[in-house]
A and B are shown apart, each in its own frame.
Chain A
Amino acid sequence: MNDIHLEHAAEEQKWDREVNAQNDLFDLHLNEVWNYRDLIMLFVWRDFVAQYKQTVLGPVWQFVQPALTTFVFLLLFNKIAKLPTDGIAPVVFYLSGITLWNYFSNCLVTISNTFVNNAYIFGKVYFPRLVLPISLVISNMVKFGLQFLLVVVVMIYYHFNGYPLQIGFRLLLMPLLLVQMAALGLGLGLIISSITTKYRDFSVLLAFAVQLIMYATPVVFPLSYVDDHRYRFFININPLTSIIESFRLVLLNRGTVEMYGVFYSIGFTIVTLIIGMIFFNKVGKTFIDTV
């Protein structure tokens, strides 16, 4: 009897939000994320301002890491191991590869710590949890932009030193590749962050997994170099392979890109992102009880 009465009352009034213990797995509240777009940008801005306050060099630090890594790679892989660079100036080859790889690995590592690093804030206030990973994707994108400036400067230098720039319409594809890289980093990061709330082992695992995966990605060598190698399989199943090679093709007009590789990579990215968001959303609802 009582139930009938209650249902009748509910019909009289419109509610703005309904929370059930069993919520729809696919209800990701993406429109709500859009309402919080100002917060996303404020988080991006906070990451920068807070990081460089009270530092002398400020954003210049962004150039130090890729420059030094390039230097080490140059010595190790070019001068000592004598790996080829597909006819690209070795410095440009390493620097561009590292810059894009950094974007992916920074996204992955920072996002995978979302829950653990922000437990204090998630425990006290609600905002769509996806806001934080998305802000990280964007702030890492800004860092990528800064580092890419260095790539451009180096490319111009080599333009006058025997490696002329190859400008073409294919450069317009670069943003798409970046978006895919962002989506893949986001998707994987969301999955890992969801798992680390309960099993912290995964964040330890991730730290060296990222380093190892780099060597299964054509960052320090061109894909053409491993063409008929028996470990080619491992490089092929790596969805990052096609992104890095495409990036090189688009930017430097050298690279081995196969259609099936591109489709595989895009498919992998989409599936990962969807699974990541569903996982993240589900864990986000109660993670504060387990953290």
Chain B
Amino acid sequence: MVKAIRVDGISKQYRLGQTGTGSLAHDINRFWYTIRGKEDPYLQIGEINDRAHKGSSAYVWSLKDISFEIEQGSAVGIIGRNGAGKSTLLKILSLITAPTGGSFKVKGRIASLLEVGTGFHPELSGRENVFLNGAILGMRKKEIKLKFDDIVDFAGIERYIDTPVKRYSSGMYVRLAFAVAAHLESEILILDEVLAVGDAEFQKKCFGKMNEVSKREGRTILFVSHNLGAVKQLCNSSILLDRGKLVVHEKTSNVIKSYMEQFTNTSPIFEGPVNSEKKIWFRKIYPSDSDKRLKDQFFHDEEIYFNFELSFNIFRSKHDYSIFFMVMDSNKTRLFSSESKIITSDTVQLVIESNFLVRGSYSIHAFIHKPRTEQIDIAEDVCNFKIIDNGSDLLIHGDYDYGNVFGRINWKYSDALQLH
């Protein structure tokens, strides 16, 4: 298999804070070391990029020793938390900045789209900007001429092509800009979150185009997105970065799994007291998979299990207390509730069906009570968990607020009038 990109031990170091103070001294020192043929003294210090902890050094490694290969014609996703080094990696591969260490090799022309519409000039017309933007992205003039009609057609702004782009609506602007980029003829295409712009219809169109580019035209795509569903749909393999290091590079579904496991460090567990005066109380509440393994990130099409561990100060068989369970969204709006039977066992599990909650953050309310009479223990706003959409019908709407639950809806279509 022919390789499109080979990356050998790429590292990138950044200096933190103000460049103004002390850097001239550092530069002179650096220069002094280099002319004597010694190693750069500032490359030895520096630490892993972890924003949660305050580092002691002014230098951090945004990327550390990254190596991988990408085959020609494959679409590869790059995922990771904010600050994992995704953008730095794309910038290095796009030649926008050079690595501090390591090297990479590329076969074919690279076009990178880290932003839609780079270099658009507001005073110039749509037509003029297509040529300018195309040339900035690396196209020759005659190449653009050849594709001009396709570009305008794809953007759907034929009527306004001779109007200055400063008069465009933001939607038109983005459509035209994306259209130019989508028609680039490069063997490798690097995309950073570009599908996050534009309306749903256009996003779908872009997505189709990307799919076509990689699957039919056999071009290599590198794709960064926080939209895991999009990554899953477009990319057969993915790279997971964490704090500047490459964690895994394999099949996208496996990579997404490892990515989600990164989040389980933050405890979604509610823990009650070991001893209590209460008749019945919560010892532990936590979300999990079906095997009771703790988990706080679920795909929308996964079942969510909640586990309750209880302690009793009364006889289990001689009472009429039950558990009341309620789910809230991130605005603490109560979404739905459920009532258990009278509890006689010390572990209780419930399951929230798959394809029910839409993507977002949720938490729960739970209490032990005798309905409308007595409440004996309560856990308020606990067990934060997240739902991730990995490809539902509503995914195309992006960040649009389409509610909290998937509607159980059936559409029926028929023609009332028969036209002759």
Contacts and interface: CB of A to CB of B under 8 A. Distances in A.
Nearest to A290: B19
Contacts of B14: 289
Contact of B128 (A6, A49, A122, A285): A49
A38 B135 contact: yes
Contacts of B2: 13
A198 interface: yes
Interface stretch (B111-119, B300-308, B340-348, B384-392): B111-119
Interface of B: 2-3, 6, 8, 11, 14-15, 19, 23-24, 27, 91-92, 94-110, 112, 114-115, 118-119, 121, 123-124, 128, 131-132, 135-138, 140-141, 164
- 10 nearest CB pairs, A to B: A285-B98, A126-B95, A39-B135, A15-B105, A20-B103, A38-B141, A124-B118, A124-B115, A17-B106, A53-B123
A30 interface: no
A42 B131 contact: yes
Contacts of A21: 11, 98-103
Interface string A169-204: 000000000000000000000000000001100000
A125 B96 contact: yes
A232 interface: no
A49 B123 CA distance: 9
Contacts, number: 108
Contacts of B15: 289-290
Contacts of B121: 46, 50
B96 A126 contact: yes
A194 to B, nearest CB: 13
Contacts of B105: 10, 15, 17-19
Contacts of B115: 124-125
A6 B121 CA distance: 46
Contacts of B136: 39, 121, 125, 127
A14 interface: yes
A15 B107 contact: yes
30 contacts: A13-B107, A14-B107, A17-B106, A18-B104, A18-B105, A19-B92, A19-B105, A20-B102, A36-B135, A42-B131, A42-B141, A49-B123, A49-B124, A50-B121, A50-B124, A53-B124, A123-B96, A124-B96, A124-B115, A124-B118, A125-B94, A125-B96, A125-B115, A127-B138, A199-B24, A286-B97, A288-B96, A288-B97, A289-B14, A290-B19
Interface residues of A, number: 36
A18 B96 contact: no
B95 A19 contact: yes
A27 interface: no
A54 interface: yes
Interface in A69-128: 120-127
Nearest to A200: B20
A198 B97 contact: no
A122 B107 contact: no
A65 B125 CA distance: 29
A285 B114 contact: no
A5 B103 CA distance: 17
Contact of B98 (A13, A23, A198): A23
Q: Which residue of B11, B24, B96, B107 has the most chain A CB atoms within 10 A of its CB atom?
A: B96
A288 B98 CA distance: 10
A20 B115 CA distance: 25
Contacts of B23: 198
Given A15-B107, A285-B97, A285-B98, A125 B119 contact: yes
Nearest to B100: A21
Interface string A16-42: 111111010000000000001011001
A36 B141 CA distance: 10
A155 B23 CA distance: 54
Nearest to B120: A121
A40 to B, nearest CB: 9
A16 B108 contact: yes
A288 B103 CA distance: 19
Contact of A16 (B101, B107, B140, B164): B107
Contacts of A18: 103-106
A42 B135 contact: yes
A122 B119 CA distance: 10
Nearest to A38: B141
A122 B110 CA distance: 16
Contacts of A10: 6, 105
Contacts of B131: 42
Interface in A34-66: 36, 38-39, 42, 46, 49-50, 53-54
B33 to A, nearest CB: 14
Contacts of B27: 198
Contacts of B108: 16
Given A50-B124, A125-B118, A285-B98, A198 B107 contact: no
Interface in A272-291: 285-286, 288-290
Contacts of A23: 98
A14 B105 CA distance: 10
Contacts of A53: 123-124, 164
